Amino acid sequence: MHEDKLEKLLRDTLQQEVSKERHYLDGLEKKIVAELTGQLPKRGWLQTLTQLFAQMQRSRRRQLTVIGITAVIFLFLGIFVSERVPLVRGLFSVYDKQQKATIATNSDEGQLLFVMPAPGAQTVAVVGSFNNWKPILLTDEDKDGIWLTNLSLPPGRYEYAFVVDGRWWGQDPLADEYVRSFGGYNSVRYVGYAGDKI
């Protein structure tokens, strides 16, 4: 008695499943014949997308797959755009160089990376208390407008400013603090000892 009920239940469930997926079979025979005879109408991208979204509604797994694929496409597109478009590339390189500067400041004792965004500048130098305010030239090898130099300094407190085409620029975003001097500004960075205190 129980087996009969179970068999009926299974049969009903299978029928329901088959009826749910019946739309896949609709016109399948015609499609196969058309493909074999080379008469299958080409689907447009809109139709493909519509069908894809229709399928997404039916299956959560497919939905997640499509989201993943879209994310990957956008990621590659982002990388492509950042490499091709100068403005975006500039933004990325400023961030990248500033990241490097932060790392250099925090981890490499005595190493200070000076970064100055100055697109179109002819010369960029850093002057400071670390060398009696004599200019040390920054370089922009990749011509992206971001000038930099790396200085090895003993532990201490250093005041400095950038000189861009002869004009003083004393407010470096990477500075620890700023002070007024001779009516202008100086940036200040601290270089710490690795371990032993004085």
Partner 1 sequence: MKELAFLAFVACLLMIVPTQITLAETTSIDVKEELQSLGLRSTTEIMSAIETGFLQGRLAPDEVVSLLSNLAAYNGEREDKETILITIARALKDDSLPVTMLIGKVEEGLARKVSLQAIKQMVSERASLLAEVRDLLYTNLIFTSSEYGQENCLVLPLPRFDFLVTQIADTLANYQESGRSPLEGYLVYQEMHTRLSMLERNAIIPAEDVELVLERIKPESLTRILSNVLSQQLQ
- E strands along 12-166, which residues? 111-117, 124-128, 136-137, 146-152, 156-164
Taking CB under 8 A as the criterion, which residues in 78-137 touch partner 1?
A: 127, 129, 132-134
Strand partners, 85: none
Q: Quote the least distance from Cβ 194 to partner 1, whole Å.
A: 8
* Phi–psi pair at 14, nearest 5 degrees: -60, -40
Q: Which is nearer to partner 1, 146 or 163 (CB)?
A: 163
Which position among 27, 86, 119, 184 is part of the footprint of partner 1 (CB under 8 A)? 184
Q: Which is nearer to partner 1, 76 or 168 (CB)?
A: 168
Label residue 89 exposed, middle or buried (CB < 10 Å: 0-12, 13-18, 19+).
middle
Considering only the stretches 4-12, 91-99, 143-151, 172-180, report the one whose residues sit in contact with partner 1 under the rule CB under 8 A. Answer: 172-180
* CA 186 from centroid of its chain's CA atoms: 33
Q: Which is nearer to partner 1, 101 or 146 (CB)?
A: 101
Query: How many residues belong to the site for partner 1 (CB under 8 A)?
Result: 27
- E strands along 32-176, which residues? 111-117, 124-128, 136-137, 146-152, 156-164, 167-169
Site residues for partner 1 per CB under 8 A: 127, 129, 132-134, 155-157, 159, 168, 176-177, 179-184, 186, 190-193, 195-198
